[in-house]
Amino acid sequence: MKLLLPAALLAGAALAGCYVVPMAPATSVPGPTAVVPMAPPAPITFAARLYPANDQAAQYGMVTAVVNNDLNGRGYFSTNIGGEAFAGEATRAAGSQKDGVANGSGNRGGYINCRYTMNTPSLGTGNCRLNNGAVFTMHVGGG
Q: pLDDT tens for residues 54-101?
A: 999 999 999 999 998 887 778 899 999 999 999 999 998 888 889 999
Q: What is the pTM of this model?
A: 0.69
Q: Please say if the pLDDT value at position 8 is more than 80.
A: no
Q: For residue 120, what pLDDT is reported? A: 84
Q: CA angle at residue 141 from 135 to 96, to 5 degrees?
A: 80
pLDDT above 60 for 123? yes
Q: d(Cα 123, Cα 66) in Å, to the nearest integer?
A: 13
Phi, psi of 56 (to 5 degrees): -65, -35
Amino acid, single-letter form, for residue 18: C
Using DSSP, state whether 92 is helix, strand or coil: strand
> Residue 14: phi, psi to the nearest 5?
-65, -40
Structural domain spans, the chain: 48-140
